[in-house]
Chain A
């Protein structure tokens, strides 16, 4: 089954304790992205990757890191989480290239609480 998986689905942590949220897709997509969703703000892009070893900042990259060492994986790293990073996080992937609209496939979301 074609899917994007995220782990963990729920996480409660304390300020300053490094954490990683994993994201994996099995569709051989070039493009992957991380979003955070906050009430009243919609989804905002954190980082994205156009292919292996190619990453770039989105609209709200502060406090986050990413890496893309393999095509299927795109982990999100919070080196020193703070309470303002409490949010719902989504990973997404899509193919690239010209042609028909390429929808993004979303993971199930990770609910992160930083106390």
Chain B
């Protein structure tokens, strides 16, 4: 079974600085997708960024980028120029492309605080 591990329950960053959130996963599949979701205090789940495993190029969305290391099964999220609005829970998630291709497997989350 696939698993997703976020080893940092909490992280803190100074406003305008850069922070990296870690995520590792375990799978025997070769074709899959990885996601980072943000959950602000409103509790809404917001997609931050996605990565297709077959793409070697790391995904980037404005100030958010990932470091995808397929062989190491690592998928970290880098937030540049951190803003107060980035404070939230961040969840790493895995979706396979097999029989239950819709199912998302989540890590336990990392709570990010941004200091002014």
Interface residues of B (CB under 8 A from A): 9, 33, 35, 43-45, 47, 50-52, 91, 95, 97, 100-109
Closest 6 A-B residue pairs measured CB to CB?
A31-B102, A106-B45, A101-B33, A42-B108, A42-B106, A43-B106
User: Is B91 touching A43 in the complex (CB atoms < 8 A)?
Assistant: yes
Residues of B within 8 A of A42 (CB): 91, 106-109
User: Is A45 touching B104 in the complex (CB atoms < 8 A)?
Assistant: yes
Known interface pairs A90-B45, A106-B44, A108-B43. Does A101 touch B103 (Cβ–Cβ under 8 Å)?
Answer: no
B103 → A minimal CB distance (Å): 6
CA distance A104 to B102 in the complex (A): 8
B44 touches which of A43, A56, A94, A109 (Cβ 8 Å): A109
Closest to A32 in B: B102
Known interface pairs A31-B102, A94-B102. Does A103 touch B45 (Cβ–Cβ under 8 Å)?
Answer: no
Known interface pairs A108-B43, A109-B43, A109-B44. Does A41 touch B108 (Cβ–Cβ under 8 Å)?
Answer: yes
Closest to A41 in B: B108
Residues of B within 8 A of A44 (CB): 106
